[in-house]
Amino acid sequence: MNKDSLSKWKSLASDELKGKPLESLNWVSSENIMIKPLYTKKDLETVSHLDELPGLANFSRGPRATMYAGRPWTIRQYAGFSTAEESNAFYKKNLGSGQKGISVAFDLPTHRGYDSDHPRVLGDVGKAGVAIDSVEDMAILFNGIPLDQMSVSMTMNGAVIPIMANFIVAAEEQGVSKSKLTGTIQNDILKEFMVRNTYIYPPEPSMRIVSDIIEYTSREMPKFNSISISGYHMHEAGANLAQELAFTLADGKEYVRAALSKGLDIDSFAGRLSFFFAIGMNFFMEVAKLRAARLLWARIMAEFNPTRESSSLLRVHCQTSGVSLQEEDPYNNIVRTSYEALAGALGGTQSLHTNAFDEAMGLPTEFSSRIARNTQLIMQEELGITKVIDPLAGSYYVETLTEQLAEKAWEIIQEIEDLGGMTEAVASGLPKSRIEESAARKQAAIDQGKEVIVGVNKFKPNQKEDVEILDVDNVTVRRTQIDRLRHIKATRDNDLCMKKLNDLEITCKTGEGNLLEQAIDAAKARATVGEISYTMEKVFGRYKADTKTLSGVYQEAYEKDDSFLKIQEKANLFADKEGRRPRILVIKLGQDGHDRGAKVIATAFADMGFDVDVGPLFQTPEEAAQDAVDNDVHIIGVSSQAAGHKTLVPVLIEKLKILGGEETIVVCGGVIPKGDYQFLMDLGVKAVFGPGTNVLDAANNLLDILMNK
């Protein structure tokens, strides 16, 4: 391309724009990267990685020389619900239909280290994953699935010690030695303190747990990935792609340091580290993100002077975005997931999970799960994308984006290093506040229509689609688990079990020995997940996060907007009439730690003129009702994402009546199937706001309810 050609193009483009400047086609991404309408060879002049080849440092073109031409990515669908028996049957069916690996979703009580009989988990057992309380549960989960042949990924962080222990014991009792086990344990606790909140212990002992697992697996389980460092949950909490990339890799760097502090050699464990990213709807930016991740990780690992090239290689599992799924016009979600999956494949992922289209409303059904799995099978078998290694290499746009995104992420990584590393950054609250601000800005853009969601804020359908929803009978599942727990405790050698738990407690106190090694002995003696977790909690304590909220994001986004100003005026009218501002308590009930929606509501409502209280995470309905009465709030807003509302909201309303708070308005929002709306309204819930609800509309609705009370 010469100067004359470029000049000619600019002239043609200007004519087509009918007087508008060419720069009007530029747009700025949420990562603060200027996106141009045209990229040329000239844009590649500053790109440093163009001559790389697949399988060779710095791995921008993929970690394996032949990539999918030699072997396609692993189809690894994340699943688990109800009991171990039901999840086992589901896994077997999927494996028979083309799935290549198992990815286990555990329920929230298991994540938080509670057995199913604990009083704090009333509404959570078996709801958002499978309930695992014991070796017996784990043995049932993998019954008939040969663990020496099947790769198993487990998303577990808080209760990672007892879950790993139970998995190892169940495998050994199946006849499979731990040295033959393949798969991944997530074991990424730092991101839990930032976004997902399924932590148990404070950061310092939590980091000891991480390093003990890395130490044990590097010694005893050479085929098993000791950690999956996750950006997925940051993405889902609202992080932009530069933040997701930077915070994830910075977490990885911190875990490397933790492992080295145990005296491990870098090459003994670095090759078993893996990463986990979300794939959202900004197609080319997502492709660039995976390429940039490999570049940056190689740069980070160079600081530790590994001798094996494989120690600098970033391997990644990806999952299509859950937050991009919408309740409105839900079959659009199939299309969204397909595009996201394609971006993950073209970015060079090693394994992939595709979300089911109905997950914005509840757990996926067998029908929706089949479509999600077949999305990948069609990509592998029909599209031809596995025939060529890294087909987007050399793209002016993609290569430029890769370089720019890497630069943006590196700036954030250096900022974290200046704070003393990721543990110190997490303690300061910086990553969490950045992600929450990004989430609020994104939601404001959607509410304003600046960011289009087809079927939600533009091109809305004329009629609603009725979609079948999987409903787990939480009461029955809990009863089944409690019966099994009683049997285990009645038939085990309790003296031996207590001795092994005492040995674990001593290891916690002294800092000597390996926590996982001790927990395996306890699991063999049939100590439960809850008992092992509580033994460690007695020494380490249970972490409670400070609840902080942002303000000003919506005020800035809606400056001089008439609809926003009218809501503020309405809130002022209420205040003039009642002598105080409308006051709302935003709460999460049970063990559901996904607080993105709650935080966005708190931020937005505060800017619109409400007094906003945010309850602490993991409240019981009784505790939330007491807070509401003590603080004399007008409204309780229950944010639900893990399907516990049908069990927990009735208890909340009953407790309010007992405490004299029956005049308090209760509303619900989040991932709530439309079929549950009437159930909640019959209880006395005044409004239900499902996924895709415009936040301003919700605030306006609540003010109307208050003023017409």
pLDDT of residue 362: 78
Selecting among 49, 127, 191, 233, the annotated active-site residue is 233
Interval 417-459: pLDDT, tens: 999 999 999 989 999 999 999 999 999 999 999 999 999 989 9
**Which residues lie closer than 8 Å to 343 by C-beta, 6 or more apart?**
279, 283, 284, 286, 287
Interval 377-401: pLDDT, tens: 999 999 999 999 999 999 999 999 9
pLDDT of residue 593: 85
Interval 166-201: pLDDT, tens: 999 999 999 999 999 999 999 999 999 999 899 999
Determine the angle formed by the axes of helices 695-707 and 562-578, rounding to 10 degrees: 30
Q: pTM of whole model > 0.95? A: no
pLDDT of residue 518: 98
594 in catalytic set: yes
CB 88 within 8 A of CB 143: yes
588 in catalytic set: yes
Selecting among 570, 588, 599, 655, the annotated active-site residue is 588
At residue 642 the predicted structure's pLDDT band, cuts being 50, 70 and 90, is low
Instruction: Please state, for a pLDDT cut of 90, what percent of the chain lies above it.
Output: 82
Selecting among 253, 353, 500, 594, the annotated active-site residue is 594
Strands 273-279 and 227-230 come out as parallel
Q: Which two tokens stand for residue 211?
A: 């390093």
Selecting among 592, 595, 607, 676, the annotated active-site residue is 592
Selecting among 68, 201, 216, 232, the annotated active-site residue is 232
Selecting among 78, 199, 534, 554, the annotated active-site residue is 78
Mean pLDDT of 587-613: 92
Mean pLDDT of the chain: 93
**For 247, phi and psi rounded to 5 degrees?**
-65, -35
CB 201 within 8 A of CB 251: no
CA nearest neighbour of 692 among 669, 676, 675:
669
**Which residues lie closer than 8 Å to 661 by C-beta, 6 or more apart?**
625, 628, 629
49 in catalytic set: no
Identity of the highest mean pLDDT range in 260-264, 343-347, 474-478: 343-347
Q: Which two tokens stand for residue 217?
A: 């697996």
**For 101, phi and psi rounded to 5 degrees?**
-150, 165
Range with the lowest mean pLDDT among 59-63, 73-77, 95-99, 310-314?
Answer: 95-99
Interval 132-178: pLDDT, tens: 999 999 999 999 999 999 899 999 999 999 999 999 999 999 999 99
Q: Is 51 exposed, middle or buried (0-12, 13-18, 19+ CB in 10 A)?
A: exposed
**For 667, phi and psi rounded to 5 degrees?**
-130, 160
232 in catalytic set: yes
Q: Residue 617 — left, alpha, or beta (φ > 0 → left; ψ -120 to 50 → alpha)?
A: beta
CA nearest neighbour of 226 among 177, 268, 169:
268
pLDDT of residue 81: 72
pLDDT of residue 674: 84
Interval 688-704: pLDDT, tens: 998 889 999 999 999 99
